[in-house]
Each structure stands twice: as structure tokens, then as C-alpha cells.
Structure 1
Amino acid sequence: MDMVVTPVGLNCRYYDALDQLADSGTPLARFKLDPRCDNNVDRDSLSTGLLPLEGNIVGEIFAGSDETCVARGYGAHSYWAETDQYLLLALWADESNEAGLAAATERLYRELLGQTRARGYPHLVRVWNYFADINGEEQGLERYRQFCLGRFDAFSAADIAENQFPSACALGHRGGDLLIYALASKTPPHHFENPRQASAYHYPAEYGPRSPSFARASLLSLPGQAPKLFVSGTASVVGYVTMHPYQLSEQITVTLQNLDLLLAHVARQYASDARELPSLQAEVLKVYVRNATDLGEIKARVEQAYPKVPVVYVAADICRADLLLEIDGIWNLSV
């Protein structure tokens, strides 16, 4: 396994095909936004299967300052990059070689947890999950629920408690690999729930045999860096119920409200003095759009709420068939 050691820190940004900065230094990881998730072709970047819907953005980079060093390497179906503080680990599988999505998910999550612990980064901060046909049915159960079943079983086998569940998203791409990538740390993050939403891991049985295993947001504080908040995929859900099924304008409103309430809750919880709340500045946003024809209205509303923030809009199916969009992102906290 090849290894390269290069100075790097931690931040996220998007790049286009002409962006020369994309090749300056060595990033922690580079992720392509492309029409099919295929990770056996190009080792310069990882494939997500998420196709951008507008503009020239072709990918995202996790990189940063030159204050620390990163070691990187590939396995047959994995990629890792680590510093003295955190690890980014990506794993993928061709589902045609697996015994169903639940089994594939459990296997990859067991490997994910095993590797993070073995390398000395036992605390999951954020996980991204992308796979095909998320709302389709497999073995008599919706594929998203199959995914949740496999993830839950892996967490249970590793004795991961509910208060240790990381922030996460799960989206449906247009075909190809099951891709899971995660940020793990030597430092325990602080996980948050949204006071307007039921904890996903407490959803009732009608939402599947195993509840989704994730937190609404995770705050990671590293030496010499502003605390960084990773916000999970957020949609038009109040309590545990979809609000305004299939109604675009109303879903955009509820989604943005949920983000505002979550950020305010984090600020209040983090503050040492309620009279001086910390500020949260968005670093990047990713907007998952089910129907490309909805892009115009979604973009107008998001950019009104978050002017001057880098945003990428990608084609993706949301975990519930009646949801039309989902938003996640990264915020920097300052006091």
C-alpha cells in the first residue's frame, strides 16, 4: 500500500474543472460529483455518483492548512487519510457481489468501525452514505430500511451507544457502488439533536425494523482550529412525520426552519454565557434535489437564506419517497 506524507489541515470546499487550486498541495481527500459511482477507475479522486445540476462544480475537497501532516493510502476497496487528530476513511462495495444491501452495509460498517478503532480514531464524527435506488424494495423491505438495518446491526455489534451516533446522511444516487465515507477523530465530538425533531434513533416501528442511527449534528473541536459543526441531512420532518408530502415550496420552508432551529440550539448549548452566544458561519452547503425541474425554486430560496455561501446542488433521491429535497453542510463556530 503506497503512502504519501504531506502538510494538510481540515476544511471543505468545492472546485470546478478549471480550478488550479484543486491541485495545490495534497488534499486529504477529493470527491468527484459524477453520474455514476464507480471507484475502481480513478485513484486521484473518489466517485460519489451525485451529478451536479448546474454550474461548473465537479467535486469537493477536504484539505486545509499546512499545520499538520497527512498519511494516505488505498486498499482494494478503501481509501484512508489520517493526521495526528483525525482520520477520513472511505469504503465501497459492488452490490452485485453482496448478499443484499443490509448485509453489504453491515459488512462495510463493521470494517469502518474496526479500522477507525485500530488506527486510534475511535470517535465517529460524520458519515456520508450514498447508494442506488434508495426508495426501491429489496427482500420485501425498502432499500433505505435495509441500509438502516445493516448499519444498526454493525453499531450494535461494536457497542456503539445512541449518544455516540455520528451526524450522517443517506442519499440515493443513479447507480454504481455503495459508498460510505467517514470522518473519525481522536477527540470525542459533541453530538446534537434538533428540539423540533424526534431523534432518528427513536423513530417508531412504522419507519422500519431498525431506526436510523445518526445524530442531527456533530461539533468537533480540534487544537488550533475553530470548532466545526457537521450538520446531517435535513429535510421537511417535524417530530418524525414528513411535513407537506410532495409539496416543494412548503418543504423548502420547513427544511430551512429546521436548520435555523438546530443552529440556534447548538449555539445555546455551546455558550458559556447565554448573553454572548457564539456565531455559526456556513462553510459549505450541499443540497440534494430529487427532481431537476425543482432546482430553480430551491436555489432561489437557499441562496436567499445563505447568500455568499458556497453551495452545490446535486441530483439525488431522498430517504423518504415523499421528500423532495435535503440539505446538509459544515459550519464554523466562533466565540
Structure 2
Amino acid sequence: MRRRSSALPDGIPGTIHVTVGANPCALLVASIAQPCPARRAARAAYACLGRELVRHGLSIVQERVLGSVDSAAGVLAERAVALRAAGVDSDGPCTFVEGRPLWGRGWAGAILLAVRTADAGGVPRVLHDGGVPCGRTWRLKGARFVALQGIGSRPDAAAAPQGVQAERAIRTAARLLRRQGLRFADVLRTWFYLRRILSWYGEFNAGRRGVFRRLGLLHADGAAVCRLPASTGISGRTRGRAACSLDLLAAAPAPRSGMRVEERRSPVQPRPLGYGSAFSRAATVSGGNWSLLEISGTAAVDASGRSAHPGDAPAQVGAALDAVRGLLDDARGGREHFGAATVFVKRPADAASCRAALESHGSGARRWPAVWVQADVCRPELLFEVDGEALSSSKAGSRDRRGRRDAR
């Protein structure tokens, strides 16, 4: 794997990061560092992203765009024009969610998961629900993949109570997966964007557990039946008024394909189900000499499940990054191949101290391609959260110092 970072042109304060290599997946990140007209930044960034996609023979399979909602129309218009100009399909779904930039209004950046088109047997197929693009499906080396985006975010969903909206979003996603021959148990990762998260996160958790029981992921007593998906649950507002928007990534390896989907456990944090949250800390999908690691939203939660370092943002950064480092080590994924991160800061006034703590941490986090946004975390005392995705690959026959095949 290799990562290349380049500054945006014309003095725009941002960077394009591309992580690509022998892995059939790739990660592309556009990150805006300072206030800049949103349309101008999006025009330049998506022109660069489009060129990189074409250069490496990649197709977008999932896309998250973060910024203030009032910038959405302009950013998405520039996205469409720039991608089309590069020869990239711009009609597939993308999720625009209000992760406001730390300066308040405008565009913070975008994160794209892509696949090498040749490895996927062609351009991934766009899925529709009621005539609206809602995801993509593709195949990689014996596995069927589905990415769904913006489930539950349609304007007509907002009329229902917020807990009902969340349950309906999960059930809708399960229905769309069944159409493609997958189950919700095949979901590798979820992203839940919850409007005013602090006012109803407990209700959301209870509803998610209830739906997961009905889908067969949990026993009646709440214990897990199978691997639970990695997940981010964060404050986020979409362009509609819906209380919940769901994105997910699912993978179903074919029998005897050699591909695996596995939960990754943290050496320093408990399994979230122990305190009522039905997700896992991380998950990987791997195929012999490559893997994709999905790291859940990670905050300063101690070994007992309690929030650590209340009121101390830099200390919370350190605790969260210690947990992420443990997950990377557990997966044997190279930190140098951490391809995309979203950094959530509750209070913009803490941004400088959070950035300093991140850059000085021994995890190598200062080199991670990251989009920084302002957002409430799931507990009022938590001031910082980070999630991410890492890619690894190895040449056949490469082994680590203990004689094991190197997964990096």
C-alpha cells in the first residue's frame, strides 16, 4: 500500500489523500483545513478526486460528504460537474451530513471508498429504492458487497417519532439487503447520523437492540447471536428533517472463497454490548493478502465502560487514540496505511488542543488523512471521537519477524 498527499491548487487550504496499492480497495480523502468558499473548495477537490479515480482505475462505492447543511446544494452541484468532467459517474448516491467545519459554516471535506474496477468485474451497480439511488453492489474475489447510503433520511420519514424513524431505517436497510441476497448479519459497518443525539441516544440504543433481536442478531436476553457490526453513532443533520440517517457496508463471502469477515476487539475497552450499545469496536473483511479494517467511532471510554477524563479534551484524545492503536495492532494493520479518519470535536474552542494532542500521540495519528468536524458525541461529557478505515496488503510469501504471513 502507498499513500500520496497533495495540496489543493489555487491556494485553497486543503489536501487530497489517496491510499491505494495491491489491495482492491482504495480510500480517497479531501480535507479542508481553513475557511474557504465551499463551492470553490469543492470544485477544486472533486476535480482532483476525479483525476485520481481515473488514474488508478477506481470506481466509487461509498461517499460521505461533510459540511454545514447550508453549503450542501452548492457543494453537490460542483461535485457533479467536476466528476462528470473527469469521466466519472456522478449519479450514484452520496451522503451529505452536517459535520460542520470547525469554523462553523462551509465545507469540511469528503471521504470516498473505492474499488479497482477491474477487480470488481466492472463498474459497481447502483441500487434504487422507490426510484431513488440508495447504494451500490459489487463483487470482489468471491464476496458480494453492498453499500447503502442515506437510509431513513427522506423528508417524509420525519413525521414519525424519532425512535420509530431509527427502527424503520434499520428495517429498510435489512429489506434492501435481502433484495441482494444478504442478511443484516452480513453488515460489516454502520454509520448512524442522529439529529440532536444527546436528547435521545438512550432511546436509539433501545430501539436498535429491539430491531437487532427481531433480525436475529441478538438473543431475547440481549446476548449476541453473531458478530455485531462496527459502528459510528454521532450527531448529524441531513438536508431533510429526519432524526436518523443510516449508511452501511456489508460483505458476504462465498463458501470456500478464502475471504473472512471478523470482529476486532479492543485490548483497552470493553465490548459495547456490555453497557447496552449493540455494535463492535471494529471489523475486518480480508481476502488472503489484503484487508479492509473498519474502526468504530472511538472516544475516551475506560475498561469499565465509563467515560474517562471528563472535561479534559487533550486527555480524552490520548485515551481514544490508545484504543485505536490497540485495534490496529489487533488487526495487524499497518498504521501507515490508515487511509481515512473522521475527527469529531464537540467544542470548537478545544480544536487546537485536540490537534496538538493528536499530533504528539505515539500512534502516528498526525499522518492520518482526516476530516475534522464539530459534532456532539453520544455522551454529554465526551468531547472527542475518531473513527476510521485502514487498508493493508502484502506480497505473496512476505512474512513478519515471527514467521507469520504479513497482513500489511
| Runs of 4+ with >6 A deviation | 37-41
Whichever of the two has the greater Rg, that structure is 2
Of the three residues 375, 379, 392, the one matched with 1:316 is 375
d(CA) in 2 for partners of 1:218, 1:227: 10
CA distance in 2, matches of 1:102, 1:37: 26
Structure 1 residue 102 corresponds to structure 2 residue 157: no
Deviation at 1:80, TM superposition (A): 1.1
TM-score norm. by structure 1 comes to: 0.82
Q: Does the CA contact (< 8 Å) of 2:145 and 2:250 recur in 1? A: yes
Q: TM-score, normalised by structure 2?
A: 0.68
1:171 is matched with which residue? 234
- Pair 1:78–1:323, CA change in 2 (3 A): farther
User: Are 1:326 and 2:385 matched, yes or no?
Assistant: yes
Alpha-carbon spacing, 1:308–1:250, altered in 2? closer, same or farther (3 Å): closer
- 8 Å CA contact retained: 1:131, 1:171: yes
SS of the equivalent of 2:390 reads strand
Structure 1 residues 114-125: aligned runs within 5 Å:
114-122=175-183, 123-125=186-188
**1:55-94 superposed Cα distances (whole Å, 9 cap, x missing partner):** 9753222213222130013335661101023110121234
- Tell me the number of residue pairs that the alignment of Structure 1 and Structure 2 aligns: 304
Gaps of 5+ in 2: 1-23, 31-40, 77-90, 219-223, 254-259, 394-405
Residue 168 of structure 1, CA deviation: 0.2
Identity of matched residues, %: 21
Distance in 1, Cα, partners of 2:343 & 2:166 = 24
CA contact (8 A) 1:39 1:47 kept: yes
One-letter code of the match for 1:292? P
* CA displacement, residues 264-313 of structure 1 (integer Å, 9 cap, x when unaligned): 2333xxxxxxxxxx644311111111011111111222233423321111
Determine which of 94, 97, 109 is the counterpart of 1:48: 97
Q: CA deviation at 1:106?
A: 0.9
- Is 1:194 the counterpart of 2:266? The answer is yes
Q: Is the 8 A contact 1:38 1:49 kept in 2?
A: no
In structure 2, the residue matched to 1:64 is: 115
- Indicate conservation of the 8 Å contact 2:189/2:248, yes or no: yes
Q: Which residue of structure 2 lines up, in the alignment, with residue 293 of structure 1?
A: 349
8 Å contact 2:108–2:373 — kept in the other structure?
no
Inter-CA distance 53–222: structure 2 relative to 1 (3 Å threshold): farther
Equivalent position of 2:198 in the other structure: 135
* Residue number in structure 2 paired with 1:30: 63
Distance 1:40 1:103 in 2: 28
Distance 1:299 1:63 in 2: 28
Tell me if the contact between 2:99 and 2:108 (Cα under 8 Å) persists in the aligned partners: no
User: Partners of 1:283 and 1:185 in 2: how far apart?
Assistant: 19
Question: For the aligned residues, what is the CA RMSD?
Answer: 2.8
